[in-house]
Structure 1
Amino acid sequence: MAFDFQALRPLVSLSVFASLATLVFLALYININDRAITHIPQQALAFIKKRWTNDDLEGVVKHLQGKGIHSLAEKKRAQTPPKTGRRYIVTGGSGFLGGWLVIQLLERGEDPQNIRILDVRPPNRRDFTSGLAKDVPFVKVDITNKEDVIAAFSAPWPTTDNSEITIFHTAAVIRFHERHPSLLPLSEKVNIQGTQNVIDAAKAIGATVLISTSSASVAHWWPGRLFSFPWEWPQIFGWFGLERRIPAMKHVMVLGDQEAGGPNEQQRGRLPHTIEEFCTIYSYTKLIAEKLVREADKAPTHFNGKVVRTGALRPGNAIYGPGSDVYEYFLANGTENVSFSNHIVTNPCHVENIALAHLLYEARLIDTKSPSDIGGQAFAITDPGPPATSGDTQSAIAYFVKRFSGGTKAYATKELSPTFITLLAYFVETWYLARQRFGFLPAVPETLRPLQPSTVGLSIIHPVVDDSRARLPVEKGGLGYEGVVDTLEGTARCVKEYIENGSLREGLKPGAFGHGK
């Protein structure tokens, strides 16, 4: 039987028109939604105070090419508490922050034999292959195994005049891209159970100080609805004097000392509590771990009536510095980087600043004559000085790469639509969760795995860290923290180190990315 295909032409034309109209509307929607997301609200701009200029960037370059190269060491000597002669256990000591903690302990004169690194792998930093760092003992241990942790903590020490022990607990698994409750077991075993094992082991050996590295992200709420409705577009365009924003989205968050203990705690606001309120499961598990550590303050140990003094630090947002896989990943990519968060206002934390804060908190806890007791509390820590936009930081990196390489290297970041990335993130998450539930599905490619709504929620709003309480003088209940390097100089130092010496971590393949803390 013959069929007249000419009769289908109107339907084909209609479907083509509908497809084109859908694409046009989608493109228009993405453009409009991006306007609301990338607009920097006045509330966020007020934190910046001054944008970086080329004169500022060049000033830092000349500073680091001159005598300023030694300024960081001088500031550390001025602010670091004196040598204690205590014994030190650093869980996660092979990681990024843990490694810098070991370095700062050695720099202030602690005996390398009185420092013990506990981790699942030995250190792979260049500066651990020579000098005092190479003599620091390493014990391979899985902190999820309580017996192994106690055995590692209880291993014999060299005979010294001071047998007191301090624990710096930095070990963690950082699965920042996961937010679904079904994925909780992938993080809680290390971050929660592992922390409890560290607490129990600290009590078992009579440790008198335990300081845990938490995260400023414990105060980072899920930002809410990331997509606008058409009837909200007048606000997105700023018509009628309305502020440009998505009404159901938290555009600015202050990450500070909410529910962190100490005077006036209730005035600092509250934290997220349920998994759904958090941006990522990682933050949820870090808050539970932080509470475990803080609640253990003044708990009796198994030795001669000793008690353990505890506290936590919330670095943010995030930690960077020489050896940071985030920075090394971007620098290794050169001009092939992409970003959907250049608009955000945030203040990261240089690794030397947060390492110093650990030593300051320890000094406060072992000082029996301290005017105020700050045990069992948590303190947010970030770089000194105001925050900057991510875009300004990216521009600074590009400037520093060109200057420190003598023009032989280049760095660039291509901006992507945050709305498009958000749509893609929901698709990746659906695939990722389906793979977890139905194992026969193909795995999400490693390069796509981090691109999920949790990552977007952390990256498209303005998270500003408030560490004003840590900066209070000791007599007013603070840590007396000042910080040794601001974000602009810290960024320059990262670039300079990488350009001149390559990765701080040996055996790392170019472009490797793992968020090791």
Structure 2
Amino acid sequence: MTAGLTYVVTGGCGFLGSHIVDMLVERGKNISEIRVVDTKLRSYKSPERKGVNVKRIRGDVTDMAQMTEVCAGADVVIHTASLIDIIGLVSYTTLWDVNVKGTETLLQCCLNEDVPCFVYTSSRAAVGPNSRGDPVEDGDESTPYDSSCPLLPYGRTKAAAEAMVLQRNGRRTNGGKTLHTCALRPGGIYGGAGWSLIKMCQEFGMDIFSARPQKGISHPSVKDSPPYVGNVAWAHLLAAQTLVTSPQTAGGEAFHVADDTPVQNSATLYGVLCAPIGIRWDDSLALPLWLMYFIAYLLAFLSFLSKPFYTFVPRLTPALLTLANTTFYFNYKKATRLLGYKPLFTWEESKQKTWDGLVEWKARDFS
């Protein structure tokens, strides 16, 4: 492996991106510089390692001039920057511009600036669920699935960007190198202080610190197995290293990223993870599912009627209900076989780290 590699991590101040940066500093091989690119430069203390320079850069992945400068002289780009939206707060045009056109911009910069390795953070949503809510249990990358009717606009953008990334694998750069690309598909990532689950609950108006258990919108029979953020970051590091050392192994491939988090109903998982900060979850539905669908369709109709006069975005949508009530999870056997991936953190370690982060977050923001 070439010594003194330069990495670019887009979205590097975000939830997953910051964990990837920390993982590269702590465990990366032969890295001299990490360029952390984000539209908002969040202040947090990264671990330090002699010989590794972490440089934070304010930048927008849709800006060709900025990304050309960022990619100049780089060896690996890990592209995590993305807009995530599951209820329609962001217009489809904006989602497409950032998630698809932004990815296209970065790929072109890699070809122009002779960057040979590109790791894309895709999503399980790039595969499904589809609008019918067809389930997948313990699936893999070869599991047949009808993705022709995607459930979410977000999923459509991630699928389009992922396809573009994999199609660029093997392209010749301007300087005569070969661009090697791969995509990772995590889903429902948890862990870390200020965990996005809590923020989502607050967006839905839940009084998360009340004495009453929180009721959800997912039927108790629906199962999932989301990965811990540290394991997803570890998979990115291994994917990048594999593209550098053995590009024919991972180039042009997509990988589901999971870990050994128990397969269970989401309310059960959230109940375990949120227990140390006093948030209780009830695995029963807030309302009968048929009634929630009725309300969701009614809200969607009202949103349509009000569109000429007022932008009304319901927090409960039919697509969100279908997403929450579809068993849809995959294994990581292909990532193990081709990337050498095994979860770096056990379930017990992932749980403890999530507890520690949430306790710290509550003490800081709610004391």
Same fold (TM > 0.5): yes
In structure 1, the residue matched to 2:118 is 210
In structure 1, the residue matched to 2:310 is 441
Residues 296/257 of structure 1: CA separation in 2 closer, same or farther (3 Å cut): farther
Q: Return the alpha-carbon distance in structure 2 between the equivalents of residues 286 and 391 of structure 1.
A: 27
In structure 2, the residue matched to 1:236 is none
> Displacement of 1:341 after TM fit?
1.5
- Structure 2 residue identity aligned to 1:147: A
In structure 2, the residue matched to 1:253 is 136
Q: Is the 8 A contact 1:220 1:278 kept in 2?
A: yes
Matched, 1:168 2:78: yes
Q: Return the alpha-carbon distance in structure 2 between the equivalents of residues 299 and 342 of structure 1.
A: 46
Residues 207/433 of structure 1: CA separation in 2 closer, same or farther (3 Å cut): farther
Match 1:485 to one of 330, 345, 350: 345
- Structure 2 residue identity aligned to 1:122: L
Match 1:278 to one of 143, 150, 153: 150
Residues 355/495 of structure 1: CA separation in 2 closer, same or farther (3 Å cut): same
Q: Is the 8 A contact 1:223 1:461 kept in 2?
A: no
Q: Return the alpha-carbon distance in structure 1 between the equivalents of residues 88 and 138 of structure 2.
A: 20
Q: Return the alpha-carbon distance in structure 1 between the equivalents of residues 64 and 171 of structure 2.
A: 18
Q: Return the alpha-carbon distance in structure 2 between the equivalents of residues 373 and 257 of structure 1.
A: 18
Q: Is the 8 A contact 1:176 1:455 kept in 2?
A: yes
Match 2:178 to one of 307, 315, 325: 307
Moved more, 183-192 or 487-496: 487-496
Task: Give structure 2 stretches of 5+ with no counterpart.
Answer: none
Q: Is the 8 A contact 2:25 2:48 kept in 1?
A: no
TM-score w.r.t. the length of structure 1 is 0.62
Q: What SS class does the counterpart of residue 333 from structure 1 fall into?
A: coil
Q: Return the alpha-carbon distance in structure 2 between the equivalents of residues 393 and 496 of structure 1.
A: 16
Q: Is the 8 A contact 2:35 2:70 kept in 1?
A: no
Q: Return the alpha-carbon distance in structure 1 between the equivalents of residues 53 and 150 of structure 2.
A: 41
CA deviation digits over 1:346-388, x for unaligned, max 9?
A: 00011111111111112222224x7x63311100011125412
In structure 1, the residue matched to 2:37 is 118
- Provide the aligned C-alpha RMSD in A: 3.1
> Displacement of 1:503 after TM fit?
6.0
| Structure having the larger proportion of residues in helix | 1
- Structure 1 residue identity aligned to 2:224: T
> Displacement of 1:468 after TM fit?
2.0
In structure 2, the residue matched to 1:290 is 162
Give runs of aligned pairs for residues 6-405 of structure 1, distance below 5 A. 85-108=4-27, 114-125=33-44, 127-128=45-46, 131=48, 136-154=54-72, 165-178=75-88, 183-224=91-132, 250=134, 252-254=135-137, 256-258=139-141, 265=142, 268-273=143-148, 277-303=149-175, 305-316=176-187, 318-323=188-193, 325-329=195-199, 333-335=208-210, 337-341=214-218, 343=220, 344-368=222-246, 373-384=249-260, 386-397=262-273, 400-401=275-276
> Displacement of 1:487 after TM fit?
4.2
CA deviation digits over 1:277-298, x for unaligned, max 9?
A: 1110111110110011111111
> Displacement of 1:145 after TM fit?
2.2
> Displacement of 1:312 after TM fit?
0.2
Q: Is the 8 A contact 2:2 2:30 kept in 1?
A: no
Q: Is the 8 A contact 2:5 2:32 kept in 1?
A: no
- Structure 1 residue identity aligned to 2:256: A
Moved more, 294-303 or 484-493: 484-493
Q: Return the alpha-carbon distance in structure 2 between the equivalents of residues 175 and 213 of structure 1.
A: 15
Q: Return the alpha-carbon distance in structure 1 between the equivalents of residues 305 and 94 of structure 2.
A: 16
Residues 347/83 of structure 1: CA separation in 2 closer, same or farther (3 Å cut): farther
- Structure 1 residue identity aligned to 2:96: E
Q: What SS class does the counterpart of residue 18 from structure 2 fall into?
A: helix
Kindly name which structure, 1 or 2, has the bigger radius of gyration based on alpha carbons: 1
Residues 285/357 of structure 1: CA separation in 2 closer, same or farther (3 Å cut): same
Q: Return the alpha-carbon distance in structure 2 between the equivalents of residues 110 and 469 of structure 1.
A: 23
Residues 105/271 of structure 1: CA separation in 2 closer, same or farther (3 Å cut): farther
TM-score w.r.t. the length of structure 2 is 0.85
- Structure 1 residue identity aligned to 2:361: G
Q: Is the 8 A contact 1:379 1:467 kept in 2?
A: yes
Residues 90/384 of structure 1: CA separation in 2 closer, same or farther (3 Å cut): same
Residues 141/385 of structure 1: CA separation in 2 closer, same or farther (3 Å cut): closer
Q: Return the alpha-carbon distance in structure 1 between the equivalents of residues 2 and 262 of structure 2.
A: 31
Residues 338/326 of structure 1: CA separation in 2 closer, same or farther (3 Å cut): farther
In structure 2, the residue matched to 1:457 is 322
Q: Return the alpha-carbon distance in structure 2 between the equivalents of residues 202 and 173 of structure 1.
A: 21
> Displacement of 1:255 after TM fit?
7.2
CA deviation digits over 1:56-82, x for unaligned, max 9?
A: xxxxxxxxxxxxxxxxxxxxxxxxxx9
CA deviation digits over 1:408-458, x for unaligned, max 9?
A: x522135412333222222333344445x41x22544xxxx4421221111
Give runs of aligned pairs for residues 397-436 of structure 1, distance below 5 A. 397=273, 400-401=275-276, 410-414=278-282, 415-417=285-287, 418-435=289-306
Residues 191/366 of structure 1: CA separation in 2 closer, same or farther (3 Å cut): same
Q: Is the 8 A contact 2:13 2:40 kept in 1?
A: yes
- Structure 2 residue identity aligned to 1:457: T
Q: Is the 8 A contact 1:327 1:494 kept in 2?
A: no
- Structure 2 residue identity aligned to 1:302: N
Q: Return the alpha-carbon distance in structure 1 between the equivalents of residues 189 and 336 of structure 2.
A: 18
Q: Is the 8 A contact 1:256 1:466 kept in 2?
A: yes
- Structure 1 residue identity aligned to 2:130: W
Residues 503/150 of structure 1: CA separation in 2 closer, same or farther (3 Å cut): farther
